[in-house]
Amino acid sequence: MASGFFALLDDISVLMDDVVTMSKITTKKTAGILGDDLAVNAEKASGFVSSRELPVLWAITKGSFLNKLIILPIAFLLSAFLPWVVTVILLLGAIYLAFEGAEKIYEYFVPHKHEAHTVKSEGLSKADILNLEKKKIKSAIITDFILSVEIVIIALGTVIEKPLLTQILVVTIVAIIATVGVYGIVALIVRMDDLGLRLVQMSNGNKNGLHFIGKLLVNALPLIIKSLSVIGTIALLLVAGGIFVHNIEYFHHFLETWPSILRDFVIGLGVGILALIVFKLVKGFVKYLKKDK
């Protein structure tokens, strides 16, 4: 009886060691999406009245947890009964990531008007402001759902050959890290300028260390958000390229002599450009049909 108990403990120890190892690998695989998730949510959680930033961010965080609760069971069921569908979704997700990365580069070189994201409170009632906040929260949760699907599928694709219990533990851990880590960092980022302003006020107009640090934090916020956007774009293309290389035989042998990071980026960018061209053509065709009517 005792030997059976210790054998069980040994099995649990091996399982947990495997889970920890695979969680580290999977977290690295999903780092590109996490970077993009961080950049997107830092942008969406900013622009509110200072006192409303954290409540809005908390509402988005709760929505993100709900997204994971919806996505995870579906992903595990697919892995158990239709594992090939996970690969299909993974490749479709990679095309979307490549498209998103290419679109961001296109928008940088071909600027166009964007909708204003700041919630303006001037001349609006409290009810109107809350309605605007709800719309922005809803938009952020929808975006989070898309990114959460990508994170979960990429994580699942990394451990798809492992036993189902290992898959459930690893992917769940990654999903929790993704939510807590991303939104925890976003909370720190969106409060940077408030902390900086407080330090400037504490300096009482003197050009001392508090004043310098405060000004640095205030000025650094927009730069950090822009930097995250650039890093997230590069990471999107690298992640997409890596998925194509590991799941499509042709890409696996494409540019074999190149460094893997450069090869993944080129493949991701190439597929992204093709996806963007197709999207623009379809969009233009639909617009032409509407005009014709």
Q: Please write the tens of the pLDDT for every residue from 71-113.
A: 999 988 988 888 888 888 888 888 988 998 899 899 888 866 5
Rounded CA gap, 142 and 266, in Å?
29
> pLDDT at residue 127 above 90?
no
Question: Which pLDDT band, with edges at 50, 70 and 90, does 192 fall under?
Answer: confident
Grade residue 46 by pLDDT with cuts at 50, 70 and 90. Answer: low
Q: pLDDT tier at 279 (50, 70, 90 boundaries)?
A: very high
Residue 252 and residue 250: Cα distance in Å, rounded?
5
More confident residue, 57 or 122: 57
Q: How many domains does the chain have?
A: 1
208 is a domain residue: no
What pLDDT, on a 0 to 100 scale, did the predictor assign at position 1? 46
Is 83 among the domain residues?
yes
Mean local confidence (pLDDT), 192-219: 80
| pLDDT at site 223 | 83
**Residue 46 forms part of a structural domain:** yes
Q: Which residue has the higher pLDDT, 247 or 11?
A: 247
Mean pLDDT of 28-36: 60
pLDDT of amino acid 176: 87
In a domain, 3, yes or no: no
- In b/e form, how buried is each residue of 5-39, taking b as 16+ CB within 10 angstroms? eeeeeeeeeeeeebbeebbeebbebbebbbbbbbb
Per-residue confidence (pLDDT) for residue 114, from 0 to 100: 52
Q: Look at residue 224 and tell me if it is in a domain.
A: no
Q: Does any domain span residue 216?
A: no
| Per-residue pLDDT at 262 exceeds 70 | yes
Comparing CA positions, the residue from 142, 176, 141 lying closest to residue 26 is 176
Residue 66, pLDDT > 90, answer yes
Query: What range does the domain containing 69 cover?
Result: 18-192+232-292
Residue 126 within any structural domain of the chain: yes
Residue 226 counted as domain residue? no
